[in-house]
A and B are shown apart, each in its own frame.
Chain A
Amino acid sequence: SAVISQKPSRDICQRGTSLTIQCQVDSQVTMMFWYRQQPGQSLTLIATANQGSEATYESGFVIDKFPISRPNLTFSTLTVSNMSPEDSSIYLCSVAQGMLAKNIQYFGAGTRLSVL
């Protein structure tokens, strides 16, 4: 299994500002993902963070709003830009060791974001 550390664990931000969330893994992983979980809802995939190339975004999510970096095989960041109260959610980092569906995916504890 992989141990995933997310920072910050929670934050309260003002409308119009940006927040960068960090995800650090204790081992090199092939795949890293970012999810959003809105209050009372299930998880929704935002994007796949690709090492050495641009992230792959899901429908409804754009790079200008959620820029992602993945400088190496153990670290990624997600920025929530120009925040509004609708961005109040839990943001989760996830990793998988391999490229195949049979590979288990592991999750961090999440970053709880409140936008005022």
Chain B
Amino acid sequence: DAKTTQPTSMDCAEGRAANLPCNHSTISGNEYVYWYRQIHSQGPQYIIHGLKNNETNEMASLIITEDRKSSTLILPHATLRDTAVYYCIVRVDMYNNNDMRFGAGTRLTVKP
């Protein structure tokens, strides 16, 4: 699976959009980009995933560059409850290869 690089930490003002970048320059054509987050003292929570097209759900938007070497998770209106560690994970879509491998992630702090 491709390696990902994320900033160690980021701050965001409450009510503003939080844009979390992820670099995955060695990604291959059949690798998905996943985003999870872990709020303090909880298990990781699935946010969104995509292959090549941009994706949006009720939680966030995922923007993947055309060359797929990087992506951005967007929380459109961050709240204090969005303070968490955000993990970007790239994974090959293969049979029996569906365990998530977590890196260090980005610690997002939403400030009032």
Residues of B within 8 A of A (CB): 32, 42-46, 49, 87, 91-105
Contact = CB atoms under 8 A, between A and B. Distances in A.
Interface residues of A, number: 24
A101 B97 contact: yes
Interface in A60-116: 92, 94, 96, 98-110
A36 to B, nearest CB: 11
Contacts of B100: 43, 45, 94, 105
Contact of A102 (B46, B93, B102, B104): B93
A107 B103 CA distance: 16
A59 interface: no
A101 B94 contact: yes
A44 to B, nearest CB: 8
Interface centre among B45, B99, B102 (most CB of A within 10 A): B99
